[in-house]
Amino acid sequence: MFATHVRRTIVGLAVLAVAATGLTACASEPEAPDASTMTLAQTKSPAQLLRNEAASRIPEAIVEEIAQSTDKSTACETVEQDPDGLLRKWDSSVRVVLTEKGGFDVESVVENLVGTFIAQGWERGSHGGSIVKLTSKSSPTTIHISSVAANAEKGTTSIVQLKASGPCVTTEGTESAEVVDLEARD
């Protein structure tokens, strides 16, 4: 029940994101907003929408469940470089567990997913070897896509991991009202 609700929510948000993308396609490709003028709150929704849109592009017939979804701000620098944690970005991630049925290869699922973004003008890069990083000149948000193949000996199924990240922005720190409110911490 919960997985169905999450899947419907993701699909609904993705439809809105695709509609917005379609409307902007009529004009020339805009430049991404200047991250130096953005707040963490302004980066949260674009990261969540990009994550949801990517998840909705995985064929529903091969999705077993949405295993884990995470939304949080993370530090952009090490504690030594930024001891107060002022420079932060919004990360939205989801683990999509794929069904064992269908005889598909998880790497081809990832390649097809990446191809849908490339067809929309996103640029492919890599991040740490097997992680695909997608960027767009019209978006300050990036997405990282990776996968883990099923392993019958270990009893695991295939997983696609999606992580959308907003740009690094200046905040008032980890315990600031903005960060605490956005992370829904008390």
Q: Answer yes or no: is pLDDT of 4 > 90.
A: no
Q: What percent of the chain has pLDDT over 90?
A: 65
CA–CA separation, 92 and 183 (whole Å) = 11
Buried-state track 20-36, b at ≥16 Cβ within 10 A, e below 16: eeeeeeeeeeeeeeeee
Give me the residue label for tokens 């200046």.
170
In sequence order, what are the residues at sequence separation of 6 or more whose Cβ sits closer than 8 angstroms to the Cβ of residue 183?
71, 72, 73
For the residues 131-137, what does the mean pLDDT come to? 95
**31 or 84, higher pLDDT:** 84
Distance between CA atoms of 182 and 86, rounded to whole angstroms?
A: 15
Mean of the per-residue pLDDT values for the chain?
Answer: 84
Rounded CA-CA distance 90/136 in Å is 17
What are the structural domain ranges in the chain?
A: 2-27+36-182
**Averaged pLDDT, 78-97:** 95
How many CB atoms neighbour CB 149 within 10 A? Answer: 12
Max mean pLDDT among 6-10, 89-93, 148-152 falls in 89-93
pTM for this prediction: 0.80
Beta strands in 4-80 (DSSP E): 63-75
Q: Does pLDDT of 30 surpass 90? A: no
Rounded average pLDDT over 126-154 = 90
pLDDT digits (tens, 9 = 90+) for 49-84: 999 999 999 999 999 999 989 999 999 999 999 999
CA distance 128 to 99: 27
**pLDDT tens string 141-170:** 999 999 998 888 888 889 999 999 999 999
